[in-house]
Chains A and B, each alone.
Chain A
Amino acid sequence: MAADLQPKASSSTSTYAGLGIPLILPAWAIIGFFLVLPVMMMLIYSFLTKEFRGGVIWEFSLAAYDQFFFDRGLFGDELPKIEWTYITIFWRSIWQAAAATLLCLVIGFPTAWFIATRTARNRSIWLFLVTIPYWVNLLIRTISMKFLIRDNGPMNELLMASGLISEPIHIINTNLAVQLGLFYSYLPFMVLPIYAAVERYNFALSEAAADLYASRTITLTQIILPTIKPGIIAGCILVFVPSLGAFLAPDLLGGAKNFMIGSLIEEQFKGAAGNWPFGAAASMILLSLVLLVLTLYARQQTREQG
């Protein structure tokens, strides 16, 4: 999606030559002052000292990062060991985001393929159908999912009434519930880029392969997938990155045992922990992780194009 709108040399004209800087200035000022500067401020905060019972003291300290990576025992006086707690939370978040991405891919790819192979008229209707739920408030979608999958919710009642199951399927407060929530939050991000790639795919290639006696599977894996790979990768990134820092799905669907990065950070600011430097450090680590993924992606893009 973003890649489509890279300024292309051909489309850049100069009707307003010389006005570029004054015209771009408001965007720079607002995003610079209210996003870039705050992120730098957050970096500074992650090196400050936590005050007893919340608040910060303007004194340099590595305590937040130390707490993240090292375990010094209950009384803080033991030799440092590796602290697995937060690494586990990050790992769980990565894992959950990856699982949600896979779920989106398994269901989103056939959907995108199906839509892209309709007639032009039907395509827009199908696309419209897939994107509509995305515009419904995320909070409301998450609540709806929670309502649906509760132990004694409509889904279980329907299944029990139909005699398919005798005991309710327990989904709420499990990993699966969080994955379903993330899937529901970000599915269109998977469908749209894949759709765009399939739409551009030249089916003459498939015909050529078929003429050369390639089976369906061979055609799919050897011809189609490599051609539309950029769309798939873009889709995966667009689902994976927001899933990593998601807050609502783990909070409302995950219960206590499925703490993810988003909840960990929130707890430091809105919850009882009140440890701002630690929350800032965790945010910095999350941000670095996301930027790493995006950089790898950008590098891979340029390598393929160049």
Chain B
Amino acid sequence: MKKLLKLGASALAITLAANAATAEGKLVIYNWFEYLPQELIDKFAAQENVEVTMDTFDSNEAMLASLKAGKMGTYDVAMPSDYMVDIMGDEGMLDTFDQEEMPNFSNIMDQWLNVSFDPGRNSSVPYQWGSTSFSVNRDAYKGDINTLAMIFNPPNEVKGKINVLDSQGEVLALGSMYLGIPQCSTDREELKALNNLMLEAKPHWASFGSDVAKDVLVSGDASVGMIWSGFGAKAREEGANIEYAFPKEGYVVWTDSIVLLKDAPNRANALKFMNFMLEPENAAALTNFAAYTAGVKGVEPFLSDTVANSPESNPPAEPIGELVMACPQEVQAVYDTIWTNLKK
């Protein structure tokens, strides 16, 4: 039956002279929202004479789900975080390239070259790295903010005025840090505790949202907002009296990469784009826009002072952040249940 339908549809496609030809000179990017300035897109488009289109996502999980739901083969590059690169590699969703195909490969900083999620960088190049924690409105709360209790067991002043990122991996990782249990724990009691923590914290949260994370802090709708470091810096720049926390229980660090997707319709342009983003000037322009940190050598002369010195991008020596882990299937199933319980 499936075949028959396919046949009918392709017949239909032919009669309608469908979107048959994969036009040359195109590049289709699948990126986080507000994570690539239009100026850089325009610059790349002009430089390589390529027509660039970009779709955006607001969580690693949403990107994975969308790609697995039949969008593979329509995008050239995507910008997942570390653990998601790992997962996508496992799922066979990534293509590989040779270093010779990318003249700027040597610009990658050494610390970002041999990463656990893509040893030797065969499918990905660094994009930006930063951390995930939360910002607190200092007009609303004056006490010590460097604890994850601000989110999971909040003081009365901020109860009901908390926005939490709609990002399973990061929220559950921070929850595990608050409880002092390892990520992707297989221990039943620990998983139950994590589930209970989320359910008890939920009544204090006003909203779930990643794309709204900056706006709710700027508008004052939220007094505490879980947020990515650079996004928090931008909220502060826009006039919110907020401070970014580095909680004593730990926080999440992440490093986003540009990955070359399998079956990319415009592989050559994808490589050109990855190479383009390894150019120090371009990487710096991205950092100046997104307010995170580049993984490319030689960006310093191009960085704006506000971004280079932002408190969000300069964590204290202690505590240190942790990467989000990719959980095995049986733990992931429990994580999914916890997340569903939380979102209902």
Contacts and interface: CB of A to CB of B under 8 A. Distances in A.
Interface of A: 33, 37, 51-55, 58, 74-76, 85-86, 88-89, 150-152, 172-173, 255-257, 259, 267, 269-274, 276
Contacts of A274: 61-62, 64-65, 68-69
A51 B206 CA distance: 32
Interface in B5-38: 5, 8
A229 to B, nearest CB: 38
Contacts, number: 88
B320 interface: no
A273 B334 contact: no
Given A53-B332, A74-B191, A274-B61, A255 B206 contact: yes
Given A54-B69, A256-B207, 16 more contacts: A37-B5, A54-B64, A76-B337, A85-B344, A152-B219, A173-B207, A255-B207, A256-B206, A272-B168, A273-B65, A273-B336, A273-B339, A273-B340, A274-B64, A274-B69, A276-B69
A53 B88 CA distance: 10
A74 B68 contact: no
Contacts of B62: 270-272, 274
B64 A53 contact: yes
B66 A270 contact: yes
Interface in B198-252: 205-209, 219-221
Contacts of A89: 344
B166 A272 contact: yes
Contacts of B5: 37
A272 B332 contact: no
Contacts of B344: 85-86, 88-89, 259
Nearest to B329: A52
Nearest to B90: A53
B114 interface: no
Nearest to A85: B344
Contacts of B65: 53-54, 269, 271-274
B69 A74 contact: no
Nearest to A172: B221
Contacts of A54: 64-65, 68-69
A74 B343 contact: no
A76 to B, nearest CB: 7
A257 B207 CA distance: 7
B142 interface: no
A150 B219 contact: yes
A267 B168 CA distance: 13
Contacts of B91: 53
A86 B59 CA distance: 23
Contacts of B3: none
Nearest to B220: A152
A267 B343 contact: yes
Contacts of B205: 256
A85 B341 contact: yes
Nearest to B196: A74
Contacts of B166: 271-272
Interface centre among A58, A151, A270 (most CB of B within 10 A): A270
B344 to A, nearest CB: 4
9 contacts: A37-B5, A53-B332, A54-B64, A256-B209, A271-B166, A272-B65, A272-B339, A273-B336, A273-B339
B115 interface: no
A74 B68 CA distance: 26
A259 B343 contact: yes
B277 to A, nearest CB: 26
Shortest Cβ-Cβ A-B pairs, 8 listed: A274-B65, A272-B61, A54-B68, A256-B208, A54-B65, A55-B68, A85-B344, A255-B207
A272 B329 CA distance: 16
B149 interface: no
Interface centre among A33, A256, A270 (most CB of B within 10 A): A256
B87 interface: yes
A173 B192 CA distance: 30
B333 interface: yes
Contact of A52 (B195, B207, B332, B337): B332
B291 interface: no
